[in-house]
Structure 1
Amino acid sequence: MNQLIPTQQNSEGNLLVSGRDLHEFLEIKTKYADWFNRMKEYGFVENIDFILVTQKRETNNPKNPFTEITDHHIKIPMAKEIAMLQRNEKGKQARLYFLELEEKWNSPEMVMKRAMDYLNARVEKLQTSNLLLEQQVNELKPKATYYDMVLQNKSLLSVSKIAKDYGMSAIKMNRLLHDLGVQYKQGDIWLLYTKHQDKGYTQTHTHVIDVDNSRVSTKWTQKGRLFIYELLKQEGILPLIEREETA
């Protein structure tokens, strides 16, 4: 069966359809907001059968170029019941469509595919965690063998503060360090290449938010700051204070 009404999958593995797409397919003449409010009277519960979503759309008004549109992401059982309530040919088509969707969605092949997708996502998350752990272990190594003034200095700097010394943004500094072979991006996190990980240039900390969520922050040590200075100096890039002195 062709995709009469577009569907999407949420993070919990539920198949969803847009309320507005269903409203359009059923050729409902009533305004969407009024129609959906009437459908809710049949006992559907928000955050169980559907969720409220909003999206921005462009307008032709220069003073107000965007407007906010309300929509709802509906689970298939609710969409099927709504189709049955219409009591017309379009409703019948939608109901048959949703029945076939449910059958395919719950087939052994699709159940196995969703399980594999879940496992692959977990493996990817675990690999990222292992990379972070490896970097944190390597960053701790110099503390056991070096006792120079740089390593004893406890002050840490964010990349944005170092970038400010050079009159550039953190985004530009991160990209520059990437181009120079210092770091690479893993998801939303910048990690040092292996050859730099055990030099004590950075310290990475994991802040646990809850059981399933955490936030990682990486800051540069004073030794790392000096490393960046020497590296950029070789490329002819000096901090602002040295440029002013040269001028």
Structure 2
Amino acid sequence: MNELITTTQSDDGKILVSGRELHEFLGVRDNYTDWFKRMTKYGFDEGVDFIGFSRESSGGRRAVDHHIKLDMAKEISMIQRTDRGKEARRYFLKLEEAWNSPEQVMARALQIADRRVNNLQLQIEQDKPYTTFGKAVSGSDANLNIGAFCKMVFDEKGIKIGRNKMFKWLRDNGYLIKVGRERNNPLQKYVDRGWFVSYPTLVQRTEGDVQSLTTMITGKGQVKLLEALDKEKSHCW
């Protein structure tokens, strides 16, 4: 069938018509915005029968358009009571008949299946950085101190690195503050990303108790830092 009026397909397999293209085909003299507002008063609801969107007009400026469902397009065409309106309605009826043929139903089913396969493959690619361990750890509340994290690194990746060396690696790579009173505290940007938390602890000394902060690595931080360590292990550990 020759395409009299351009149509598209929604994600759920419905035929959609551009409100502006239909307006142009029907030869309506009123401007599009006024005409469409008048058409909606015949009982059509946004989000049910049509959805508004913005598109680039012929002059390069943005213009409001609408995705109209086929049933609404048919009724609007009939309401015009013009030869063009009758022609558009007949075209939509033939389009609907062809759309519901067994061949077209099967073709759409195959398209949906292909789209689901592609989405699944994309999800697999996105999940590659995360092992089953990583997914479990990244969403957990099991914060680890540096010593416990060193043990986990050895258990998971076979990287043998002591607590002091781990602190140095974290400082050298910009995760922890290098100098000053806040040395070995995490940089704020990594705290904001949810990689670290700091807990106040009380250190007992003969001259008096002193409060300090203990750096803990969150589940998300453990996954990210483990990835970074794993990348370096071939030439650093």
**So what's the TM-score if we normalise by structure 2?**
0.59
Q: CA deviation at 1:118?
A: 1.1
CA change 1:228–1:20 in 2 (3 A) is farther
Residue aligning to 1:70? 64
Deviations 1:120-147 (A, max 9, x none): 1112222333445555339869853513
Residue aligning to 1:3? 3
Unaligned runs of 5+ in 2: 135-152, 175-219
Q: CA RMSD in A?
A: 3.6
The residue matched to 1:117 in structure 2 has which SS?
A: helix
Contact 2:154/2:160 (<8 A) preserved:
no
The AA in structure 1 aligned to 2:100 is N
Q: How does 1:57-136 map to 2 (within 5 A)?
A: 57=57, 59=59, 67-133=61-127, 135-136=129-130
Does residue 55 of the first structure (1) align with residue 55 of the second (2)?
yes
Q: How many residues align?
A: 166
The AA in structure 2 aligned to 1:104 is A
The residue matched to 2:30 in structure 1 has which SS?
A: coil
Deviations 1:181-220 (A, max 9, x none): xxxxxxxxxxxxxxxxxxxxxxxx8xxxxxxxxxxxx957
Residue aligning to 2:156? 144
The AA in structure 1 aligned to 2:229 is K
Q: CA deviation at 1:37?
A: 0.8
Unaligned runs of 5+ in 1: 60-65, 156-160, 162-204, 206-217, 231-247
Contact 2:54/2:65 (<8 A) preserved:
yes
The AA in structure 2 aligned to 1:48 is V
CA distance in 2, matches of 1:147, 1:54: 54
Deviations 1:76-101 (A, max 9, x none): 11000011111111011101100011
Residue aligning to 1:222? 228
The AA in structure 1 aligned to 2:65 is D
Deviations 1:30-61 (A, max 9, x none): 110111111011101111110011124475xx
Q: Which has the larger radius of gyration?
A: 2
The AA in structure 1 aligned to 2:97 is E
CA change 1:135–1:69 in 2 (3 A) is same
Q: CA deviation at 1:225?
A: 5.9
Q: CA deviation at 1:105?
A: 0.8
Does residue 44 of the first structure (1) align with residue 35 of the second (2)?
no
The residue matched to 1:114 in structure 2 has which SS?
A: helix
| Identity %, equivalent residues | 41
The residue matched to 2:28 in structure 1 has which SS?
A: coil
CA distance in 2, matches of 1:128, 1:228: 29
